[in-house]
Structure 1
Amino acid sequence: MVEVLIAVGIVVALFVGFNIGGSTTGPAFGPAVGAGAISKVFAGALMSVFFFVGAWTIGRRVVTTLGRELVTDPGVFTVETSIVVLFFIGGALFVGNYVGVPASTSMTAVGAIAGLGVARGALDWAVMGEIAVWWIVAPLVGFWVSVMIGRYVYPTINRLVAIDSSEGALVELDRSGAVPVPRAGPNTTRREFLGTVTLVTIGCLMAFSSGTSNIANAVAPLFGAGVALNPLILLGSAAVAVGALTIARRTLDTLGNDITDLPLTAAIVVAVVASGIVISLSAIGIPASFVIIATMAIVGLGWGRATRTVTVSEGIRGDTKPTVSVGALAADKPGETPPDIGEEDPEEIPTAADLFDPATTGRVIVMQNVVPILSTVGAYVTFWLLFAFVW
């Protein structure tokens, strides 16, 4: 009977890993896909590899944290309770993936475990409080840093990077030798190639960071119940790979195209801000809210670019006094870099709707709060009923 329950638990854990792959691939590689740097299939492949590396190395520590330290009595993790916890994690994440909005796997998993801990009176409130505070602070930091960059220094960064997307393939395989060698495409400039490599490298770093924190969300309950860790990491990473190559296409569209128009320079800015915050949180042992931070960085940069305030000098519009315009970041065009503040052509100034989609943003923010709440409340009510009337 125990073997059957463990088998059921592993199946549910695989379902969770599948949804983690779908949920976290978008924030890591959505900017690169949206900028046309790599394809969705290649993004999924990179996510699979670097997630596994992060899970196999640093991820073990986070598994121990969620499986042993978040609750004061690790004995609450039985095979039966682990299955229920994983069910709520996977179900809540599936809701987010189904509507194309990547939910925070860390918030969803910790919420489900917290629901179990509260129902059993075994939640470590000090640990939970510390995690919750950082979950509030980190996305706000990512948002406002990105807003300031988009509003005030984006043109300068764009001039320094000067990356434009050329026509044709970015990289081609040179098959003249015995072993195919990747080389820059015929129209690819050196700056474009180096900038794209930087962007994809940052995405790989974010995928690695996701593996260090998110593998615990799929396997920590079973590890707490006594299942060996190494096989769990292998199985969980394989399930993430399947999700990254399939269901992640919806979240890649949402974060790469629907929220804001991301040229290559903007995509690099988003990736740097988000990965920097995620790595900093991981360094102090906090399960990072990977999706929320990356999404808010995208939203912040889009809003900063769309609401950039400029002073239009006298004579441009025939005004007798300088005027202020909203949505005054000039659109990024191939071969051009944005002008300095005060030098924009008013006829080429896009509106906020051109750069930033409020409807999509609202859907993302709502769902990223609803999904963890579903997981937490659902787990608490279920365990309260089970412990009161069944177990």
Structure 2
Amino acid sequence: MAELLFLLGTIVALFVGFNIGGATTGPAFGPAVGSNAISKTGAAALMSIFFMIGGWTIGRRVVETLGVELVTDPGVFTIESSIVVLFFIGGALFVGNYYGVPASTSMTAVGAIAGLGIATGELNWEVMGEIAVWWIVAPIVGFWVSGMIGRYFYPRINRWVAIDTTPGALFEFDRSGHVPRLRAGPNTTRREMVGGVTVIAIGSLMAFSSGTSNIANAIAPLVGAGADLNTMILLGGAAVAVGAFTIARRTLDTLGNDITDLPLTAAIVVAIVSSVIVVGLSAIGIPASFVIIATTSIIGLGWGRATRTTTLPEVVRGEKTPNVSVGALTAEEPGQEVPDIGAEDPRDIPSAADLFDPATTGRVIVMQNVVPILSTFGAYATFTLLFSFWW
């Protein structure tokens, strides 16, 4: 009976890993895919590799921490309770992936474990409170930093980076020889290649960071119940890879294309802002919800660019004008000269509706709050009802 339960627990853990791959590939490589720097298949491959490296190295420490610090008595993790916790983590993440919205695996996993802790009276409220505060602050910081960059500094950064995407793939395989070689695409410029490599490298860093924290969300309950750590890391990493190659395609579309028009320069900005915040949170021991941070950074940058204002030092007849919106500038009469103000040509800037999709944004925000709530209250209700049967 014990072997059967352990097998069932492993299957549920693999299901969780599958959904983690679907939920985290989008935030890590959505900017790169959205700017055509890498294909969805390439993003899935890099996600699989760097997630496994992160899980195998730093991730094993997080596995031990998650099952000890968040609850006052690790003994609450039995095979039976671990199966229930993993079931709600995987089920809630699947709901988000089904709707193409990458939910936070950290929030979902911590929510399910918190449900167990509340039902058993073993939740460490001090640790839970500290985590919750940072989960509120970090996305707000990501939104406003990216928003301010998009509103006031994006044109200057764009000129400095000077990366314009060209038709065709950034890289392609040369199959003329015995061994295929990776080379630049036929239309790829040197600057575009540097920018593409940069955003792909940052995505790989985010995939590594995801592995350091999110591998615990799939396997920590079972490891706490006695499963072998190394075996579970390998199995969890393989399940994440399957999710990255399959269900992650929907979240890559959502974060790379649907929320905001994301040229390569914007992709680099989003990736840097998100990764810096995630690394900062990890450094102080907070399980980083980089899905939420990356999403709000994308939203913030799109909002900032869509609402950007600029000042024209001179217009016709030499009169000074106050700040005017991008929308007003795009409505200038044909033939009217707009002085060079060291920014993007306002007539080349898409409308707010092109840069920032409120409908998609609303769906993302709603689902990213609903998914952790489902795991938390689902686990709490289940453990409250079944508590008397297990302890």
Pairwise same-fold verdict (TM > 0.5): yes
For 1:275 and 1:218, how far apart are their aligned partners in 2? 22
When structure 1 is superposed on structure 2, of 245-254 and 278-287 the one drifting more is 278-287
Give the match for residue 272 of structure 1: 272
Give the match for residue 129 of structure 2: 129
For 1:340 and 1:244, how far apart are their aligned partners in 2? 45
For 2:222 and 2:317, how far apart are their aligned partners in 1? 67
Q: Does 1:297 align with 2:297?
A: yes
Q: Does 1:104 align with 2:101?
A: no
Unaligned ranges ≥5, structure 2:
331-338
Q: Does 1:26 align with 2:12?
A: no
Provide Cα deviations, 1:20-48, integer angstroms capped at 9, x if missing partner.
00000000000010101111111101100
Aligned pairs for 1:1-391 (under 5 A) are: 1-175=1-175, 179-312=179-312, 315=315, 321-322=321-322, 324-327=324-327, 347-388=347-388
- Structure 1 contact 329–349 (Cα < 8 Å) conserved: no
For 1:346 and 1:167, how far apart are their aligned partners in 2? 23
For 1:129 and 1:106, how far apart are their aligned partners in 2? 15
When structure 1 is superposed on structure 2, of 44-53 and 172-181 the one drifting more is 172-181
TM-score of the pair, normalised by structure 2:
0.93
Change (3 A) 1:113 1:164: same
Q: Which amino acid in structure 1 is aligned with residue 369 of structure 2? A: N
Unaligned ranges ≥5, structure 1:
331-338
1:312: how far off? Answer: 4.2
1:109: how far off? Answer: 0.1
Change (3 A) 1:223 1:149: same
Q: Which amino acid in structure 1 is aligned with residue 79 of structure 2? A: V
For 1:302 and 1:273, how far apart are their aligned partners in 2? 14
Q: Which amino acid in structure 1 is aligned with residue 102 of structure 2? A: P
For 2:302 and 2:272, how far apart are their aligned partners in 1? 15
Change (3 A) 1:114 1:317: farther
SS of 2:103's partner is coil
Give the match for residue 333 of structure 1: none
TM-score of the pair, normalised by structure 1:
0.93
Q: Which amino acid in structure 2 is aligned with residue 73 of structure 1? A: D
1:325: how far off? Answer: 1.5
- Structure 2 contact 309–323 (Cα < 8 Å) conserved: no
1:328: how far off? Answer: 7.3
1:340: how far off? Answer: 7.0
1:388: how far off? Answer: 4.2
For 2:101 and 2:377, how far apart are their aligned partners in 1? 20
1:148: how far off? Answer: 0.9
- Structure 1 contact 328–349 (Cα < 8 Å) conserved: no
Q: Which amino acid in structure 1 is aligned with residue 127 of structure 2? A: V
For 1:8 and 1:226, how far apart are their aligned partners in 2? 14
Change (3 A) 1:317 1:193: farther
Identity rate of aligned residues, in percent?
Answer: 79
- Structure 2 contact 156–342 (Cα < 8 Å) conserved: no
- Structure 2 contact 36–169 (Cα < 8 Å) conserved: no
1:185: how far off? Answer: 2.2
Change (3 A) 1:273 1:329: farther
- Structure 2 contact 260–299 (Cα < 8 Å) conserved: yes
Superposition RMSD on alpha carbons, in Å?
Answer: 2.1
1:350: how far off? Answer: 3.1
- Structure 1 contact 305–329 (Cα < 8 Å) conserved: no
When structure 1 is superposed on structure 2, of 119-128 and 342-351 the one drifting more is 342-351
For 1:260 and 1:192, how far apart are their aligned partners in 2? 20
Change (3 A) 1:310 1:122: same
Change (3 A) 1:317 1:168: farther
For 1:264 and 1:127, how far apart are their aligned partners in 2? 39
Give the match for residue 335 of structure 2: none
Provide Cα deviations, 1:330-366, integer angstroms capped at 9, x if missing partner.
8xxxxxxxx9768665544432112100110011011
- Structure 2 contact 28–206 (Cα < 8 Å) conserved: yes
Change (3 A) 1:249 1:328: farther
Q: Which amino acid in structure 2 is aligned with residue 63 of structure 1? A: V
For 1:317 and 1:30, how far apart are their aligned partners in 2? 47
Provide Cα deviations, 1:3-32, integer angstroms capped at 9, x if missing partner.
100000000000000000000000000001
Q: Which amino acid in structure 2 is aligned with residue 374 of structure 1? A: L
For 1:341 and 1:363, how far apart are their aligned partners in 2? 37
Alignment size in residue pairs: 383
Change (3 A) 1:320 1:70: closer
Q: Which amino acid in structure 1 is aligned with residue 70 of structure 2? A: L
